[in-house]
Structure 1
């Protein structure tokens, strides 16, 4: 069943979402930290300190716990402390109803052990569903300027959290895709064709979900970029990576005749195209405009999540003052606070943020692998 929000809603939420936040966070052998134990605020948590002291690593602890990777690396191994071979991350997730949900990761010798509510779980997707994370960091502009894979990840995150049919279809499609590609490499074309019906059914559903997600989220993005001062509308177009006049199965059958050694059509090659002034956005915009659009897309994603599921995501924001001017930095914090979301924010100095952060924010200082609360 689709659980998209009504397309007529705006970027201000109409009802109070069920807030989920990390109250306790601890880690051992995480980058520069031998260990830390933190009691976090349900709202804003700001970590200050010079570069290289470990501020960003605290954000990574939550990221890797939720997804098995962080916005800085694609696996767990790089964030394990030097000369150590294990990593432990533990968090207690709380809700406004008073429930406590412990989540733990033990990673040793290349093998992860995950626990949710003290029960072993096999897949990180189980954790991600309970703890949706939105990252905003210095490389976020790549969502706009990077490869199509960056925007497919954006679509996949949104579809995973708001559309129940997406993840089963995604698993089915990628399993079949892997098998088909193996057959193509071995030039076993009859066996490759065996996977076409499965890929066609699941692939067309994925593309349908992606297209619908873009249609629904676009007004949210436009609303935010208007607030951030864009004077021209940005246009969004989804291309499914096969001839729209034909079915995916027909296109797979035709591609098979070309005797390629890999699959070049399907939703794994689809693209979300961004344009304005009739040109590709990444080619006709400044770096500052690219950062603002990426931020608007992330904020829109959280707003749609709340409207669709009544679940609030957690924000991990690395070096926000370095990425935006003061006005847009203030706007971003006001939006996140207005969404009743928890956020962990890093900054070299407290000065750029202290003037417009609410009094109930919690401040921490990070230095030499130690974290201390600022009173």
Structure 2
């Protein structure tokens, strides 16, 4: 799935568009006991409750692709009877009306989800009439000829509210505040089947994790039968190690700035494409070459790649390995923070025999919040 496809489904989680028929929930305590289980007709919920649930479902489809939202494809063996895809299809096709399979679903999550605190499992079923689209891209609500029959699961931490003082209006007094259990936003979740090219795709699903470095590969494998992709922070660490090993002693500021600029240019050029930009081994090597890494150092690239990344078919998501929000330069005593698109303002020069960083200043300088005159104004 891509951003546009996810947004189309996310828009269904509003009171006006909502087509959810059933909601099921299971509250699990820190000892993996089921403390509460319920199943309700979604439209019969009080409005305030419905709005809160819809907000949770929207957040289950929020985040950055490759970091928080991960597309997963079922292995072929999991599409056979008894496989994970077969189980999820049976769950979806039940429209959440069969308690036995819902309980089995809860048990699978409880057995494999790593969490030492209380949490709430939310599961909903909905059918979306997919509107047709005119030649100019406008949706035609009355021209639907396909449906998207799906389930969405959200796993939310349940924590005690913070201790503190509060005002008791009836007693007109300050008292210790009552602490109750609060359902927080989702930490994990999934959408099945996937919604790809505005159609239902039972061979894929979308997995959500609030923390990119906490994919829980064992949970992914148990629930969906496939290997979890490399987490975003791990991709960044591997790329940094690969660059360091490939450049070796020839690393300098200009090369690193070029890598930063070229990588961000690639992401910007790819911005209009529906699918995220992935870099193969060949792409990474070309990136280093275009950034000024000497040819003799690139002769070691293949062995560095094999040692650092491993398999050649591993693809690195460009947004996972690039710093699109910062460009930081650090020395033992000085830290320089530059807007990521203005790295050109800082140059490396040899002055009086010493390597120096020169920062171009064309307008004004602030020191501890106070404007000071630049050289040109003196």
- TM-score by length of structure 1 reads 0.23
Greater share of residues in helix: 1
Larger RCO, structure (CA 8 Å, separation 6 or more)? 1
Greater share of residues in strand: 2
- TM-score by length of structure 2 reads 0.22
